[in-house]
Structure 1
Amino acid sequence: MKKILVIEDEDSIRNNICEMLQAEGFETIEAGNGKQGLQLAQSQLPDLILCDITMPELDGYGVLNELRVHPATQTIPFIFLTAKATKVDLRQGMELGADDYLTKPFTTEALLTAIATRLEKQLALEKKSLQKLDELRSQISHALPHELYTPLNGILGLSAFMLDEYDTVERDEALQILKEIHVSGQRLYRLTKNFLLYAELELMATNPDRLQTLQSKEIDTYSQPLIYETAVQKAQRADRVADLQLDLQGTIVHISEANIQKIVEEIVDNAFKFSPPGTPVCVSDSVQDNWVILSVSDRGRGMTAEQIANLGAYMQFERKLYEQQGSGLGLAIAKRLAELHGGELRIESSPNQQTIVRVVLPGRK
């Protein structure tokens, strides 16, 4: 049985609506003002909310604004019941996240149709979320074991060889084996850190208090030295210093050094990883309306529009066709970091031609 919260300060209207809904098999909760309605919404978590606009203590706009701030209530379908139906009123409600408007007086048929439409839409969204969760589980089950086992097997295999052949291995050969063990260890360490970081960022995105703490600690950072040093380091590790092209203006970003460095590290690493040696990787920055735009382009295999739309943490596209190392976490981490700071990550790509990743970040405060 679906549970509907009715927030209406006129007793007769509220009682009529509740009786109507109960007759149709719905469970109803009643609130005579916005403040009481908000409390019931947060404690009862109804399947849908019907709410008047003009009410004492807290109006309908205030109720909706509070609900959309908190993760537990931000996706509950919300329908305004109001005598106010001007374009300005409609726009204000829709901007706050209202799902629909019903103008008083309305018929039983109109009310039930609006409710059915919103509940069906919510069901479709929930099914899509479950589908994405299943896909995420599948991606984790395929990507994580492979990404962990590959460097781990390298460490175990090479160290076992050294233990067995310690007395016969030449110095130069032993040094090369130790270097390979070290590289595998570094890869395993970075992968583990990225998985933990991504999990932390996802939790932060659903916790307003943790998000506020993150944002309160951010400071204005002069980005040029960080971008330059990080990009050059990545080029050196990929043995592609000649391919790196830098066009840095010297911008100020309102984000910590550690976070801007992580963003640059991941998108530049991704560009080198998925483009062939001898092709350029271009890194540039610019300022537009107090937003800093960091751009990284490469001429690798690229991504389709569908792949860009489905960008996810544990997705490494076309793994069967390409064997580049990587769990696919890099772009997801950069994207989430940008979003947590009020920015965004955009991708423009033509498969097998060019890919441009643009990260938009807040400028000087």
Structure 2
Amino acid sequence: MNERKPKILVIEDVQSLRKDIIEMLGFEGYDAEGAENGLVGVEKASSFQPDLIICDIMMPGLDGHGVLEALRRQEWTDFAFIFLTARTDREDMRHGMEQGAEDYLTKPFTASELLAAVRVQLEKLEKRRAEKQESVNTITRNIIFSLPHELRTPLNVIMGYSDLLMTADDTFPMERVAEFAQHINLSAMRLYRLFENFLIYAQTILITSDQAQINALRTGITYSPQRIIERAARTKAAHERLSDLQLDLTDIEAVSIAEDHLRRMVEELIDNAFKFSNPGTPVTVTAHPHDHGYQIKIEDRGRGMTPAQIASIGAYMQFDRIIYEQQGAGLGLAIAKRLTELYGGNFSIESEAGSGTRVILTLPSHTPDSADNPLEEKNSAGIIAH
């Protein structure tokens, strides 16, 4: 079976140069096609789906920066990108790199320079794809290991109580019916949240190797984060632990994270703090401006974690499955850690087995531009969070 030829799209408005580049690439065994301007290039890229795009910057109509910006907004972003330019302006190069361009070739260039740049970028692309596939394999292994048990517990509750209701006669007390219905509802909500968390966890792993999606994710903004943190904390504490909740919150104008993601992280971490500590012991939530960011600390006096457990968080592991009945210890932490780091923040855990745990998130602050809408939540990377 023949190995697939790497596909390369050349977007260049000078016909003679475009033809020369395509011929050079063809001699080297690449499947190369051309486009005479930026608009045609964007359209052809969507259908051709090249592994590498070589694009001139200075073109009439849609220039090279506009081409890259348009392509990064599409669902298909699995390609490498090289700019061709007659300019050597550092600001121009910086702008291109920030957009996600991998390399620059300054005109005039030799055939050996072009082919060397192509080989390097295709090798990097292949490495990124291999890393992404390994991430998928990691997700698959972890889900196969943990999901059956995670699903079985709430499903057993739903099936057990619904079976009792189906077999009950007319003399069955209504208060018992209401009690069984509540158990069924709580288990159904747990299943719903479990599926959401697995989707978020998978998406945070897949996005890690895609800088364009990370850049899109980082457009997320939450204004006045204190209200999100306080609401999440009180909601989680409302079930029998409200007296254990201790809040020490100072607001900040805005942080660089989508509101749904901030809410999800805080909910998962506070839920863990209550779940793995005993009633009557405090769960403390603090949030204050810190350097050029916003630091959130969630602390409990529960069973704590070992260094090995802390080191395994990123891979999602269920801790002490046999010893403890509570579910979901590793997934909430993994989601919080990955989201924090994807947004350019810092995540750390201070814990000692048997003495409690302190989780510390430091998120980048955001200074709103005058064009920003304070009521608009931004998250264009497509990670689910409800």
TM range (shorter): 0.7 to 0.9
- Answering whether residue 353 of structure 2 is matched by residue 349 of structure 1, we say no
TM-score, normalised with respect to structure 2: 0.70
Question: Equivalent of 2:48, from 29, 44, 51?
Answer: 44
2:312 is aligned to 307
Cα separation, 2, equivalents of 1:182 and 1:270: 22
For 1:349, the aligned partner's letter is I
TM-score, normalised with respect to structure 1: 0.73
1:267-282, aligned counterparts within 5 Å? 267-275=269-277, 280-282=282-284
1:138 is aligned to 141
User: 1:345–1:357: 8 Å Cα contact kept in structure 2?
Assistant: no
- Answering whether residue 248 of structure 2 is matched by residue 247 of structure 1, we say yes
1:90 is aligned to 93
Q: CA deviation at 1:220?
A: 6.1
Cα separation, 2, equivalents of 1:113 and 1:46: 18
User: 1:220–1:256: 8 Å Cα contact kept in structure 2?
Assistant: no
- Answering whether residue 79 of structure 2 is matched by residue 76 of structure 1, we say yes
1:149 is aligned to 152
Cα separation, 1, equivalents of 2:91 and 2:259: 43
Cα separation, 2, equivalents of 1:68 and 1:147: 36
Q: CA deviation at 1:106?
A: 2.3
User: 1:3–1:48: 8 Å Cα contact kept in structure 2?
Assistant: yes
- Answering whether residue 59 of structure 2 is matched by residue 55 of structure 1, we say yes
Cα separation, 2, equivalents of 1:66 and 1:162: 56
1:114 is aligned to 117
Greater Cα offset, 346-355 or 127-136: 346-355
Cα separation, 2, equivalents of 1:143 and 1:349: 23
Cα separation, 2, equivalents of 1:106 and 1:276: 69
CA spacing shift, 1:137–1:7, aligned 2, 3 Å? same
For 1:30, the aligned partner's letter is G
* Sequence identity percentage: 39
Q: CA deviation at 1:78?
A: 0.3
2:15 is aligned to 11
SS of 1:85 mapped into structure 2: coil
SS of 2:94 mapped into structure 1: helix
Q: Which is bigger in relative contact order (C-alpha 8 A, separation at least 6)?
A: 2
User: 2:6–2:30: 8 Å Cα contact kept in structure 1?
Assistant: yes
SS of 1:56 mapped into structure 2: coil
User: 1:291–1:363: 8 Å Cα contact kept in structure 2?
Assistant: no
Q: CA deviation at 1:33?
A: 1.6
Cα separation, 2, equivalents of 1:45 and 1:130: 19
- Answering whether residue 111 of structure 2 is matched by residue 100 of structure 1, we say no
SS of 2:312 mapped into structure 1: helix
Question: Equivalent of 1:330, from 311, 314, 332?
Answer: 332
CA RMSD of the aligned region, Å?
4.5
